[in-house]
Structure 1
Amino acid sequence: MINYNGTILPSSTYLLHDNRAFLYGDGVFETVKIINNTILFLEDHYFRLMSSMRILRMEIPMNFTMEYFEEQIKLVTNANNCSVATRARITIYRNPGGYYLPETNTISFLIHSVPLENKMYAMNSDAYEVDLYKDIYVSKQLLSTLKTTNKIINITASIYAKENGLQNCLLLNENKNVVEAIQGNIFMVLDNTLKTPPVSEGCLNGIMRKQIIALAKKIDEMEVLEEPISPFDLQKADELFITNVIKGIQPITKYRKKEYKTAFSQKVLNLLNDCIVT
Structure 2
Amino acid sequence: MVSKDANILTQNRGFLYGDAVFETVKIINNKILFLEDHYFRLMASMRVVRMEIPMNFTMEYLEEQILSLVKNNSLSDSSRARITVYRNDGGYYLPSNNSISFLIHTVALENASYSIEQKEYEVDLYKDFYVTKQLLSSIKTTNKIINITGSIYAHENGLDNCILLNDSKNVVEALQGNIFMLIGNRLITPPVSEGCLNGVMRKQILGLARRIEDLEVVEEVISPFDLQKADELFLTNVIKGIQPITKYRKKTFTAKLANQLVQMLNEMLTVN
Q: What is the TM-score when the length of structure 2 is the normalising length? A: 0.96
Aligned partner letter, 1:257 = K
1:62 is aligned, of 40, 55, 74, to: 55
2:125 matched to 1:125? no
Offset from partner CA, 1:223-277 (integer Å, 9 cap, x none): 0010010011000000000000000000000000000000000000100011114
2:109 is aligned, of 97, 113, 116, to: 116
Rate the CA distance shift 1:80–1:223 in 2: closer, same or farther, 3 A: same
SS of residue matched to 1:276: helix
Structure 2 partner of 1:248:
241
2:67 matched to 1:74? yes
2:210 is aligned, of 198, 210, 217, to: 217
CA distance in 2, matches of 1:50, 1:128: 34
Structure 2 partner of 1:236:
229
2:84 matched to 1:91? yes
Note the C-alpha offset of 1:32: 0.1
Aligned-pair identity (%): 69
Aligned partner letter, 1:19 = N
Structure 2 partner of 1:23:
16
CA distance in 1, matches of 2:189, 2:236: 11
Structure 1 partner of 2:33:
40
CA distance in 1, matches of 2:111, 2:12: 33
> Any stretches of 5+ residues in structure 2 without a counterpart?
none
Structure 1 partner of 2:198:
205
Note the C-alpha offset of 1:13: 10
Structure 2 partner of 1:162:
155
Note the C-alpha offset of 1:221: 1.0
Rate the CA distance shift 1:265–1:63 in 2: closer, same or farther, 3 A: same
Offset from partner CA, 1:77-118 (integer Å, 9 cap, x none): 111111100010000000000000000100000001000000
2:259 matched to 1:275? no
How many residues end up aligned between the 2 structures? 267
CA distance in 2, matches of 1:249, 1:241: 7
CA distance in 1, matches of 2:10, 2:34: 34
CA distance in 1, matches of 2:9, 2:30: 30
Structure 2 partner of 1:3:
none
Aligned partner letter, 1:203 = C
Structure 2 partner of 1:151:
144
CA distance in 2, matches of 1:88, 1:157: 24
Aligned partner letter, 1:105 = N
Aligned partner letter, 1:144 = S
CA distance in 2, matches of 1:208, 1:13: 36
Note the C-alpha offset of 1:15: 3.1
Q: What's the RMSD between the two structures over aligned residues?
A: 1.2
CA distance in 2, matches of 1:71, 1:202: 32
2:99 is aligned, of 106, 110, 121, to: 106
Note the C-alpha offset of 1:17: 2.2
After TM superposition, where is structure 1 displaced by more than 6 Å over at least 4 residues in a row?
none
Offset from partner CA, 1:166-197 (integer Å, 9 cap, x none): 00000000111010000000000011110000
Aligned partner letter, 2:34 = F
CA distance in 1, matches of 2:154, 2:161: 6
> Any stretches of 5+ residues in structure 1 without a counterpart?
1-11
